[in-house]
Structure 1
Amino acid sequence: MSTTEVPADSVQVVVKKEEQQSKASGTSGVKSFLSGGFGGMCLVAAGHPLDLLKVRMQTSTEYKSTLDCFRKTLAESGIRGMYRGMAAPLVGATPVFAICFWGYDMGQKIMRRVYNMSPTDKLSTNQILFAGGFSAIPTTALMAPMERIKCTLQVASGSGGGAAYKGPADAALGIIRTGGVRSLFKGTCATLLRDVPGSVAYFGAYELIKKALTSQSAGQGAISPAAIVTAGGLAGMANWAVAIPPDVLKSRLQTAPEGKYSGVRQVFVEMMRTEGAGALFRGMGPAMLRAFPANAACFLGVELSLQAMNRLW
């Protein structure tokens, strides 16, 4: 009985293709979850001081500019004050961004199933935008209480001007004592109004810019760190260009005394009546300043951790 010899190169090609297909279809959800969590930690570490300035400017009229807010915050609390409220988003960043990137992966899978596409088929721009918007839905359930605690800590004064909390747990207990457990979820609708369009812009801009900056002949996995950083930073700016008005409403609602507002609609009506449309863009400066480095760090963390996991399994 004769046997047909198969060239070793052909065997290697087949094995590599099988490995790639397995990676594309088998554990992408797990990898998206883990890499998203790591990326979220990178984002918080890089961007929290400017996020604090953004929230303070959104919830107070005492600051003339981003620089003025920075100077007064530094004079009041020192450099440590710039990281007030960081523990809550840092602890929450891992599950929140893990769920966000998992949700984005699930959104892509929905599109592939609806259009009967294989795991290796490239999605269209509209399909990517859908997946981005879908990612905000599961994320909001965890994001809203985390944002509530973070914003409460960020506007709390350590000099007697308001309620001061020892940390996230103390702030959460204080919120619950004042308004009950339900109060932790104040601003959930506002968070959803912010994050659905914001996530559409976020993931859409990242994928499109990354594609434009990546050589067509380089292959799927050959993406330069410079392209990731540039695309990630610009994606963050695209997100906030869309999301800043509902974010202002969310911050006002979440930091207001218990019972002041019945919902985000009342916040909007009162703001328009007393401050005008310009108030919806308060905090745009620090939000944009933070967006590039924070989200560049986030996507770099996501991509590098994905590459590391792809090498491991």
Structure 2
Amino acid sequence: MAVSKTNDASSQDEFQAAKSGTSPVKSFLSGGFGGVAAVLVGHPFDLTKTRLQTAAEGTYTGGIDVVKKTLAKDGIRGMYRGMLPPLLGVTPIFALSFWSYDMGKKVVYALTPKRTDPQLSLPELAFAGFFSAVPTTLIAGPAERVKVLLQLQGQGASAAGPKYNGPIDVVRQLYKEGGLKSIWRGSGATLARDGPGSAAYFCAYETVKKLLAPAGADPAQLNMLNVITAGGLAGMAMWSLAIPPDVIKSRYQGAPHGTYTGFLDCAQKTVAKEGVKALFKGFGPAMARAFPANAATFVGVEYSLQLMNQLW
């Protein structure tokens, strides 16, 4: 009887711990560490993807051709063109994303007060993942807009030289051209990409990490190889869904004002001109980036969180 009561108490403690989740401050900070790691590892792949998606037909033969031409023209520094906006923006974006993901899980628990199993189902994890993308779009939308414009201006030759001198200059010129609306152009497209993508992202990570844990072991106990594998596969799961809306987002955000009336208009014109295959431009670089960048993300998140748990 005493053993039964002890087990019941232990289960109840586990349930309460799951419902309480990670400290919001720790979730926020660990997400920021993960974001910085993702940018440092993944930006050259992202630049390749964006240029391949937005270049005129025939400009490049593929991702490797983008890299060769970029290196020939600008050297290794060219592969990191436009990195400052995501580096500055990704820290709060990822911080907010992981914080929002934990908040999303708490929303699920709040909506299911009679549940007896602390483990969330895949649909519940997907909800929390999609939920995480909503607040992050407020930051990610403008950051993506600035990043895309900076990445694209090094793509073609221009006698007049680069239009923008840096991210602050991009924001200044966009505001002058169209106010805040111009700065936030494509934010809806960013959510169309990141909502389903984040749902797949967190579902895949939680599932793979659990599958890789030895029988009877707690998936929360960290194993570097498991974190790398689960994080990398989570990134690939995300981009397998996100690449078509990402193509449209990049084109819409990078096009001159008036080229498209909106996200759907951009999608329709892209498909009409280049076919459905155009929606998968940049798929190779995106998937090549997905594994290392997101493995780095979760290593940054998990191990910074572990360190914070040891410190306080």
Q: TM-score, normalised by structure 1?
A: 0.90
Distance of 2:257 and 2:199 partners within structure 1: 32
2:50 paired residue number:
55
SS at 2:217 equivalent: coil
Do the aligned residues in 1 keep the contact of 2:15 with 2:117 (CA within 8 Å)? no
Could you list the per-position Cα deviations for residues 107-134 of structure 1 after superposition, in whole angstroms to 9, with x for gaps in the alignment? 1000111111789922122211111111
Residue 67 in structure 1 maps to residue 84 in structure 2: no
Distance of 1:27 and 1:284 partners within structure 2: 34
Do the aligned residues in 2 keep the contact of 1:56 with 1:155 (CA within 8 Å)? yes
Query: How many equivalent residue pairs?
Result: 299
Shifted more, 24-33 versus 126-135: the winner is 24-33
Distance of 1:22 and 1:266 partners within structure 2: 47
Could you list the per-position Cα deviations for residues 159-199 of structure 1 after superposition, in whole angstroms to 9, with x for gaps in the alignment? 52674322211111122222222101100111111111101
1:311 paired residue number:
310
Q: Tell me: CA distance 1:193–1:23, structure 2 relative to 1, closer, same or farther (3 Å).
A: closer
Q: Tell me: CA distance 1:163–1:178, structure 2 relative to 1, closer, same or farther (3 Å).
A: farther
Superposed CA RMSD: 2.3
Q: Tell me the amino acid that sits aligned with residue 252 of structure 2.
A: L
Could you list the per-position Cα deviations for residues 64-116 of structure 1 after superposition, in whole angstroms to 9, with x for gaps in the alignment? 11111111111111100100000000001110001111111011000111111
Where in structure 2 are the equivalents of 1:172-211 lying within 5 Å? 172-211=171-210
Do the aligned residues in 2 keep the contact of 1:155 with 1:255 (CA within 8 Å)? yes
**Among candidates 149, 152, 156, match of residue 152 of structure 1:** 149
Do the aligned residues in 1 keep the contact of 2:19 with 2:109 (CA within 8 Å)? no
Could you list the per-position Cα deviations for residues 131-162 of structure 1 after superposition, in whole angstroms to 9, with x for gaps in the alignment? 11111111111110000000000001285267
Q: Tell me: CA distance 1:19–1:272, structure 2 relative to 1, closer, same or farther (3 Å).
A: closer
1:46 paired residue number:
41
Residue 32 in structure 1 maps to residue 30 in structure 2: no
1:116 paired residue number:
113
* Gaps in structure 2 of 5+ consecutive residues: 1-8
Residue 107 in structure 1 maps to residue 104 in structure 2: yes
* Gaps in structure 1 of 5+ consecutive residues: 1-13
Q: Tell me: CA distance 1:120–1:99, structure 2 relative to 1, closer, same or farther (3 Å).
A: farther
TM-fit CA distance, 1:22 = 7.0
List structure 1 segments (4+ residues) > 4 angstroms apart after TM superposition.
17-24, 117-120
Distance of 1:26 and 1:65 partners within structure 2: 44
Distance of 1:223 and 1:124 partners within structure 2: 21
Q: Tell me the amino acid that sits aligned with residue 173 of structure 2.
A: G
Q: Tell me: CA distance 1:94–1:54, structure 2 relative to 1, closer, same or farther (3 Å).
A: same
TM-fit CA distance, 1:223 = 2.4
Could you list the per-position Cα deviations for residues 212-243 of structure 1 after superposition, in whole angstroms to 9, with x for gaps in the alignment? 00113222532211000000001101100000
**Among candidates 68, 72, 79, match of residue 76 of structure 2:** 79
Distance of 2:13 and 2:275 partners within structure 1: 59
1:4 paired residue number:
none
Distance of 2:38 and 2:216 partners within structure 1: 31
Q: Tell me the amino acid that sits aligned with residue 166 of structure 2.
A: G
- Aligned residues: percent identity? 52
Could you list the per-position Cα deviations for residues 260-294 of structure 1 after superposition, in whole angstroms to 9, with x for gaps in the alignment? 11101110111111110000000001100000000
Larger radius of gyration: 1
